[in-house]
């Protein structure tokens, strides 16, 4: 499995499976099948409310000898409401996942919100339906608590998610342990070249969430348009005798980003993994580069009553 070596010295597989919006009851079969296909990297989060089911699936995979713990790379994320309770939240996630350590622990969003109890992730809203933001905890304080999880041996690498250049630069300045990863939305319609290059220049690996532009899930939740339906990408895929998804994921890999496509379908899990047997030409990489629309599909404003990216 191809991997990127993080600034922490650990290797991270360049393709993983995101478990966002996966139903608890389906997770065991999906994860076991994914491991059989060859997936070794799983992207979780407290907010996805399925760490317990993921933990049960992993425990079964270990028990049956399908895979060893050290062969897997498991990421989870600190939710906004636990910024003041980082170590406790980390331990709670580990307990649900039935793991002794995390490979990667990320700050899910660069915002602290009203604490509602460890691991509870329903966002507290005020009387006007607007997110209750906590203005007493700085991201620097949160980061130093993330560093503590490393020194305690709970976590191997720590990182950030949904951080822009300003916040990432700030984190580099105040951190003792540098962020290993910034997980952001990026795909051909939302390339964010400046942010990607800035992070890579400073030794921070980029994980692309929503690497296919969100497809069905984001169309349903956010009314967005997916690059999978782009006729020009369809003809490009025909040229390589691959699917549009495979071409787009390959583009992500050739940009040196880590990709975590999500799928609940067995055939898609297999398709998304078959991206190592071909290479896009420089001309085709440039062509895809020209298709940027600066188009964000994943915007939680719908749930939070305010647009954090405004």
Residue 220's pLDDT is what?
A: 61
With respect to residue 228, please indicate whether it lies within any of the assigned structural domains: yes
With respect to residue 27, please indicate whether it lies within any of the assigned structural domains: yes
With respect to residue 134, please indicate whether it lies within any of the assigned structural domains: yes
With respect to residue 229, please indicate whether it lies within any of the assigned structural domains: yes
> Mean pLDDT, to the nearest integer, of 99-123?
95
Q: How far from chain centre, in Å, is Cα 31?
A: 16
Residue 155's pLDDT is what?
A: 98
Domain that holds residue 272: 3-302
Domain tally for the chain?
A: 1
pLDDT band at 22 (very low <50, low <70, confident <90, very high): confident
User: Would you say residue 65 has pLDDT above 90?
Assistant: yes
- Which has the minimum average pLDDT: 14-18, 72-76, 88-92, 215-219? 215-219
- Phi, psi at 125, each rounded to 5°: -115, 150
Name the residue with higher pLDDT: 309 or 71.
71
pLDDT band at 217 (very low <50, low <70, confident <90, very high): low
Name the residue with higher pLDDT: 74 or 222.
74
With respect to residue 111, please indicate whether it lies within any of the assigned structural domains: yes
Q: What is the pLDDT of residues 167-198, one digit of tens each?
A: 999 999 999 999 999 999 999 999 999 999 99
> Mean pLDDT, to the nearest integer, of 192-213?
95
CATH at 196? 3.20.20.100
Name the residue with higher pLDDT: 103 or 122.
103
Residue 54 tokens read as 């993921």
108 is in an annotated binding site: yes
| Cα–Cα distance measured from residue 60 to residue 34, given in angstroms and rounded to the nearest whole number | 13
pLDDT band at 309 (very low <50, low <70, confident <90, very high): confident
Contact 251, 188 (CB under 8 A): yes
Contact 188, 292 (CB under 8 A): yes
Residue 221's pLDDT is what?
A: 55
With respect to residue 30, please indicate whether it lies within any of the assigned structural domains: yes
pLDDT band at 215 (very low <50, low <70, confident <90, very high): low
For the whole model, what pTM was predicted?
Answer: 0.95
Q: Which of 39, 48, 163, 189 is catalytic?
A: 48
Q: What are the CA-CA distances from residue 97 to residues 18, 58, 127, 151, 174 (Å)?
A: 15, 8, 35, 20, 30
With respect to residue 309, please indicate whether it lies within any of the assigned structural domains: no
Residue 12's pLDDT is what?
A: 98
Alpha helix segments (H runs only) across the chain:
24-37, 51-63, 86-97, 139-151, 165-174, 193-201, 215-222, 231-240, 244-254, 266-273, 282-289, 301-304
Question: Rounded mean pLDDT of the chain?
Answer: 94
pLDDT band at 298 (very low <50, low <70, confident <90, very high): confident
139-163 as b/e: b if 16+ CB within 10 A: beebbebbbbbbeeebbbbbbbbbb
User: Would you say residue 21 has pLDDT above 70?
Assistant: yes
Residue 302's pLDDT is what?
A: 83
Catalytic annotation on 48? yes
Residue 210's pLDDT is what?
A: 86
With respect to residue 308, please indicate whether it lies within any of the assigned structural domains: no
């Amino acid at each position: 499995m191809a991997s990127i070596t993080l600034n922490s010295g650990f290797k991270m597989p360049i393709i993983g499976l995101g478990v966002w919006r996966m139903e608890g009851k389906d997770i065991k079969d999906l994860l076991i099948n994914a491991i059989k296909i060859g997936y070794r990297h799983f992207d979780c989060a407290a907010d996805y409310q399925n760490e317990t089911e993921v933990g049960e699936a992993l425990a079964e995979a270990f028990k049956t000898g399908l895979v060893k713990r050290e062969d897997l790379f498991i990421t989870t994320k600190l939710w906004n409401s636990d910024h003041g309770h980082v170590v406790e939240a980390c331990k709670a996630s580990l307990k649900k996942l039935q793991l002794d350590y995390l490979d990667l622990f990320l700050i899910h969003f660069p915002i602290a919100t009203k604490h509602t109890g460890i691991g509870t992730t329903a966002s507290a809203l005020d009387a006007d339906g607007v997110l209750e933001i906590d203005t007493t905890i700085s991201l620097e304080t949160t980061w130093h608590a993330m560093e503590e999880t490393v020194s305690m041996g709970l976590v191997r690498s720590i990182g950030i998610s949904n951080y822009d250049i300003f916040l990432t630069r700030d984190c580099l300045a105040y951190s003792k342990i540098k962020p290993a990863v910034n997980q952001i939305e990026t795909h051909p319609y939302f390339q964010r070249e400046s942010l990607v290059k800035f992070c890579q220049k400073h030794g921070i690996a980029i994980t692309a969430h929503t690497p296919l532009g969100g497809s069905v899930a984001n169309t349903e939740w956010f009314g967005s348009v997916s690059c999978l339906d782009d006729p020009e990408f369809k003809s490009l895929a025909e040229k390589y005798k691959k699917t549009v998804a495979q071409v787009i994921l390959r583009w992500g890999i050739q940009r040196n980003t880590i990709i975590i496509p999500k799928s609940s379908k067995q055939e898609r899990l297999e398709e998304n993994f078959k991206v190592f047997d071909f290479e896009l030409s420089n001309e085709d990489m440039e062509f895809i580069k020209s298709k940027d629309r600066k188009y964000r599909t994943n915007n939680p404003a719908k749930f939070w009553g305010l647009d954090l990216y405004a």
